[in-house]
Structure 1
Amino acid sequence: MSNTPNRLYHYTSFGAFVHIFDYQQENFTKNNWINVRLGNPMNMNDKNEITFFEKSFFTGSNISNEIKEFYTEMKEKSPHPYIFSLIHHIGNKWYPKDEIPMWFMYGDNGKGVRIAFDFKMVEEFCEKNHYLLKRCQYVNQNEMQDIARGHRNIVKKLDKNHWNTKLEDIYIGSLCYKTKDWEYEQEYRIVAFGNHNEKYDAYSEEEQYLHIPLPLKAVKEITVGPLADELLVKRCIELIRNELFAILPDLKPFDIKKTKLQIR
């Protein structure tokens, strides 16, 4: 049986939801798109992002300094990666043990919302627009060392003229290796790349963000968090939905519901 999900979920605050579904943006009326914000992977909550693989790839190995320097220079010259996180659960069923940490880590301490996207629509949109949709791999330290060793052996056998292509593939792969501690999230990532010289909406030089569109028709459901003011938040979402689909009457409106999770 395939573990490919039917839906992908993004937990966020209600304030962020309002920005994502800002129907006054030109993209809404012109392309039927919403606007999502991708973050710098070096500022994610997991301090081992990217470095988890790179430490295994370089530390304690007999890989040459020339390859290390080539990899570092390649990263510096390459467009910077940005990530939009989406969660799924094998079997497409949700249980309280899966929801609780998501609401409190990403859903504004239970006061936010969860956006459900159609997996196939997101996948097709990413392919068409040259974004990557990648599933995270959760491995322990020994498994990571085995993976890194396999990549090292391949690179060391390559002619220098072929290093760039292989090391770029390795770098992209490193964006989606995570420790077993995070396995409960079952995360997919949309990965897009931005030019270092471009100016992005940023709180600081280190915390840069990149905005990309996603198709509004891929949004299938909005779930209100367990500690949100249900009447207020749900009513606001309904108003936004009504405005959206008054502008775009040919699209099917998404559903709005309250999570079944009961928390005081």
Structure 2
Amino acid sequence: MPDEKMKYPLLEFEYDKKLYEELLTLNPHPEFMDRVSTVTEDYEHDDFGSLPGDEKNALGHAAGVLWKIQKYGTSFSDEESKTIRTRKRSRTKKPDLLLFVNDLENDFHNYCACIKHGLGNKADLCALTEALLCYGCEDTVWEEVTEWHTAVSENKNFAKSTFLPNFDRLYIRQADRFLFLELNTEEALKFYGLATMLWDHEPDAKETNSDDHFVSFTRQYELYSRILKGASYPYGTSSQPSAFFQLYNRIIHSGISSSSLSEKLSTFVLSIQEIMESPSSRSLHRARLALLMFIVITKKHFIPELARLYDDPDRERWEVAIMEKSRLLEDTGYSILSHYAAHMTWKSGTRYFDSYLRLAKAAYLSELLSDELNAEGDAAEIAYYTSAEVFSYMLPEKCTKEEGKEGRLGKLTVMHLSYMNDPNEGKTLQKAIYGPSYGALQKGRKPLDVPFVFVKCFSPRIDYLPMWEMYGDHARGCCLVIDWETSKWMEEEAEPVLYHVCYLRKQGNSYVVLNEDNEKLSRSCRAINSQLQELHNVAEEIAEQDRRYLDDVLGKVLYLFKDSSYSYEQELRVIYQTKDNILHTDGDRPWLFVQTPFPLQLDEVILGPKFPDVSTRVPYLQEQLDLMCEKTGTEKPRITLSEIDYR
């Protein structure tokens, strides 16, 4: 291995994709094209697939379509390939290509129908499937195979044919194309997953490899899935060629110093480059692992590397590498940088590149601020004040199977940001970083688009009068004392993260973080002030039309700052930014919410100083809590009455 150190190892890593394209090539010209008679007329009829001759018509028509496609050229440009894959009409001089591909997909479905009725030939089905993959019809193939597998699993009559689409080697090759040629791990995993499916008629083939269609791939697939979730490489290795496994494990663990990280990243990248430079069918497993580990590391450490590049006068030479590597941020909290990098490809110019790096620098500062405000392990018990009615929605009587709400048992609802009582939610940090120019940004028609942000607020102040009055239904509600660490540990959940809220005090035209406003952040105030100043400097340089992107890269941290007038709360928060798994309250004007992924471990339920009818309501509450804990596997909490004397 060369004795050198890379300046920007994640950007500098590259391999020759053409070598993998040659190794993983797909055949666009199935053998049956030269054997069958082409069919040019409409051949479909009612109950197609069950009559002899249907299979010849479907295959013959597919052959005719393939001849037409090849007449227009089998080598599409990148833009044409993208057009076919996304099903958008081409702007090229070949408008019929999409129509031909749609016809080919229809023939594929028809031939599958024939196979399910025992008509047709399995080898021809495999060849036709490969042709579809060659022409960008991956979604069609994946959907057909998964639906077919479901039908076989449910023992449906039409799916009992011994001809099954268990073309594992083909699926693995397509998955490898996604991985090595596009760095698309989501699509790669989908096709690796197809290769792990067990079909009724070949339970032993996975182990014996008696048929070329079958491979034993389950163990590899499970390992790839674990790696992509950020898990350590689980097997011990000692040989020199496998040294990158140990390097990967060290890099993904937190706590590594920045200087040591840079050195290890450089060594890791150099080691996997050696593996990637000589692809072969026998070494693909190792190459997959190397590339998957690189992708995981890049998603975790790419933003800090871009932040370092921000201050490099020679940064423009990395523009092409940035546009490619930024695609790996697509499914992270910084997907906007992936979109902006794609934006740069057709709007070239120094302004766009500089703006991209400024946004990346802001994303890095956002990460630093999030780390400073992370409250995991810093709050043994936290309090959630609410009304008795809201509390009842996590109890068994309101979480019944009949109403489809059994999944809500013992969990907290996390409401949409719009329903919170502070009108400046998300705006306090904007005022701090934009300074006097913030007011000018608010002129004109007020945009009504709202972010999909959900917030749940807690406090370290247990049985505290101001909190009872503000959030505990004017002291008639409950204070739930939550063992947060145990709640997350029971389900081994990384998300959601518990954060401290930071309180900003306005001094002149600027905002500062003071120790007296932030009891739990006294050691972090200096660092937070420094990071906020850097963020202000970056924001000043970002063009006005790009400031909406800045809000996107700041993400959760926008909602972790409040005005110092709220400092008495010393608030803690969890924040979800998601469009997935959104639920609605009942009623004519439903509100949006999500739920914690785990039931809460309650240590204590404190009834408010003005809780009504305590003596008659406690037995019911005790019965509901006992039942809830029995069903969720949590410890039973104490029920107590507030010691505050309040009228």
Query: After alignment, is 236-245 or 147-156 more displaced?
Result: 147-156
The 1:219–1:197 alpha-carbon spacing in structure 2 relative to 1, beyond 3 Å, is closer
Q: Distance in 2 between matches of 1:82 and 1:157?
A: 30
What are the equivalent positions in structure 2 for 1:1-264 lying under 5 Å apart? Answer: 4-22=378-396, 24-25=399-400, 33-61=409-437, 80-89=452-461, 94=462, 99-122=464-487, 124=489, 128=493, 130-142=495-507, 144=511, 148-154=532-538, 167-195=551-579, 200-201=584-585, 208-213=591-596, 215-216=598-599, 218-228=601-611, 229-247=613-631, 251-264=634-647
Equivalent residues of 2:483, 2:602 under 8 A apart: yes
> Can you give the 5+ residue segments of structure 2 that lack an aligned partner in the other structure?
1-374, 513-528
Output the CA distance in 1 between the equivalents of 2:497 and 2:588. 26
Alpha-carbon distance in 2 for matches of 1:192, 1:132: 9
TM-superposed CA distance for 1:218, in Å, is 1.6
Q: Distance in 1 between matches of 2:580 and 2:596?
A: 20
- Asked if the contact 1:200/1:210 (under 8 Å) is kept, the reply is yes
Q: Which has the larger radius of gyration?
A: 2
Return closer, same or farther for 1:254/1:209 CA change in 2, 3 Å cut-off: same
8 Å contact kept, 2:456–2:573: yes
Contact 2:500 2:572 in 1 (8 A): yes
Cα deviation digits, residues 37-62 of structure 1 (max 9, x gap): 22232332222211122233335349
Contact 1:35 1:211 in 2 (8 A): no
Tell me, yes or no, if the aligned pair for 2:488 and 2:494 is still in contact at 8 Å. no
Letter in 2 for 1:195: K
Task: Determine the C-alpha separation between the residues in 1 that align with 2:560 and 2:485.
Answer: 20
- Alpha-carbon distance, 1:204 to partner: 8.0
Provide the aligned length of Structure 1 versus Structure 2: 243
TM-score (norm 1): 0.73
The CA distance in 2 between the partners of 1:169 and 1:105, in whole Å, is: 32
Aligned-pair CA distance for 1:103: 1.1
* Range moving further from structure 2, 30-39 or 112-121: 30-39
2:631, 2:453 → 1: CA distance?
34
The alpha carbon displacement at 1:179 in A equals 1.1
User: How many Å separate the matches in 1 of 2:572 and 2:472?
Assistant: 17
Which whole-Å CA distance do the structure 2 matches of 1:170 and 1:15 have between them?
35
SS across alignment from 1:263 = coil
The code of the aligned residue for 1:6 comes to A
Go from structure 1 to structure 2 and tell me whether the alpha carbon gap of 1:176 and 1:251 turns closer, same or farther (over 3 Å shift).
closer
Q: Does structure 1 retain, via aligned residues, the 8 Å contact 2:482–2:602?
A: yes
Relative to its length, the structure with more strand (as a share) is 1
Q: Percent identity?
A: 16
What amino acid is the match of 1:35? K
The separation in 1 between residues aligned to 2:533 and 2:583, in whole angstroms, is 37
Shift of 1:191: 0.7
- 1:202 deviates by 7.2
Cα deviation for residue 190 of structure 1 reads: 1.2
The 8 Å contact of residues 417 and 454 in structure 2, kept in 1 or not, is answered as yes
Mapped to 2, the partners of 1:123 and 1:242 lie a distance apart of 20
Higher relative contact order, chain-length normalized (CA < 8 Å, sep 6+): 1
Letter in 2 for 1:113: C
- The letter of the residue matching 2:501 is C
Q: Which amino acid aligns with 1:50?
A: G
- Structure 1 contact 132–192 (Cα < 8 Å) conserved: no
> Aligned-pair distance for 1:221?
1.0
The more displaced of 130-139 and 51-60 is 51-60
